[in-house]
A and B are shown apart, each in its own frame.
Chain A
Amino acid sequence: MSKIVYEKSKGLSDVQLSYCPGCTHGIIHKLIAESLVELDLLDRTIAISPVGCSVMAYDFFNCDGIQASHGRAPAVACGLKRTNPDKIVFTYQGDGDLAAIGTAEIIHAAHRGDNVTVIFVNNAIYGMTGGQMAPTTLIDMKTSTSPLGRNEAMMGKPLLVSELLAQIPSATYIERVASHDVPNLNKAKRAIKKAFEYQAAGKGFSMVEILGTCPIGWNMTPADAMGFVKDTMMPYFPLGVYKDEGGNA
């Protein structure tokens, strides 16, 4: 008699992921798929994929999907949710998409309090285009457009998106989690499930920021990149719940 401890989630299709070896996008896809299956929401979910590494995310989930223009995934999601209020709509965005070109869209989606879920993967770099500096790139981090490291005097300090969105009165649930080891993956999954539960209950805008890795863009092995998240990213991007008004709504 054997019990299955872990197997591939029914929420993921059998298409091979297009991500580089060791990229945490795949791990975060698994958490989303498992959450949707466990909450029994998968058959009425629509995924909005961004522009970036995860541009083909609609192929990887066993639910319907739309690919939005660069940064405009929250706008597409809001329109879709307003016309189909019985669907569960989530966007899956990276930091170049959400924190750079899509800043206006994410802020105004939160400002309107639209009942959508945003999964924000922060890996501090533009991965797909070749490792350029993003607004979330850490000070002194070397990228292809900041070969001497990010210079604070010239380029400012990294943008803290969760703190920014937590200031917005209409946002309901904002949390930052990490994906570098199994205990943090369990916490990340709880946060994602909570965000989807809030959306299913009609409680308003929710965003989960997940610290991820980009081993190729960072010039590290996947295992070293996991250590970089823990030792270098987590002190600047503190984990935690920044806003949770789901209980009062």
Chain B
Amino acid sequence: MVFTVKTAPKIVEYAAKHKLTFDENMCKGCDLCVWACPKDILKLDLERVNGKGYNPVVCFDIDGCTACGICARICPDSVIKVERDV
């Protein structure tokens, strides 16, 4: 029996040289990616909430992204997909 919840994904993409894809409805606004990002280009959007009622993470400067993947590895809820331009 499944007691847990599934919600429809809400995919948000940020693309410049490299590409970040967030599944916003999975985000719990825990701030770990913001804390871990070495380039400080992520923040929580305090103006709105996602399907779970948390402030989702947004990227405000995708040009600064180096596609290191640290945010995606530290995220407990597998919100972030990172693609590197090669």
Contacts and interface: CB of A to CB of B under 8 A. Distances in A.
Mutual binders A and B: yes
A5 B78 contact: no
Interface stretch (A144-152, A197-205, A219-227): A219-227
Contacts of B54: 21
B32 interface: yes
Interface in A12-37: 12, 14-27, 29-30
Contact of A15 (B4, B28, B67, B85): B4
A60 B78 CA distance: 12
Interface string A88-100: 0000000000000
A16 B6 contact: yes
Q: Main SS of chain B's interface residues?
A: loop
B64 interface: no
Which of B7, B28, B68 counts the most chain A CB atoms within 10 A?
A: B28
Contacts of A27: 73-76
Contacts of A231: none
Query: Chain A contact residues: over half helix, strand or loop, or mixed?
Result: mixed
B69 A1 contact: no
A59 B2 contact: yes
B14 to A, nearest CB: 13
Contacts of B7: 16
For chain A, the bracket of interface size reads 35 or more
A153 interface: no
Given A9-B78, A22-B76, A2 B86 contact: yes
A81 B77 CA distance: 30
B19 interface: yes
Interface string B49-86: 00010100000000000011110111111101111111
How many chain B residues sit at the interface, stated as a range, is 35 or more
A22 B19 contact: no
Given A59-B4, A223-B35, A5 B83 contact: yes
Nearest to A4: B83
A8 B11 CA distance: 13
A56 interface: yes
A3 B83 contact: yes
B69 A5 contact: yes
Contacts of A56: 3-4
A9 B78 CA distance: 8
Given A16-B6, A27-B74, A182-B36, A6 B28 contact: no
Interface of A: 1-9, 12, 14-27, 29-30, 56, 59-60, 181-182, 185, 215, 221-223, 226
List the 3 shortest-distance A-B pairs measured between CB atoms, nearest first. Answer: A26-B76, A22-B30, A21-B30
Given A16-B7, A22-B31, 6 more contacts: A4-B82, A6-B72, A7-B81, A17-B77, A25-B76, A182-B73
7 contacts: A4-B82, A6-B73, A15-B5, A16-B4, A30-B73, A30-B76, A56-B3
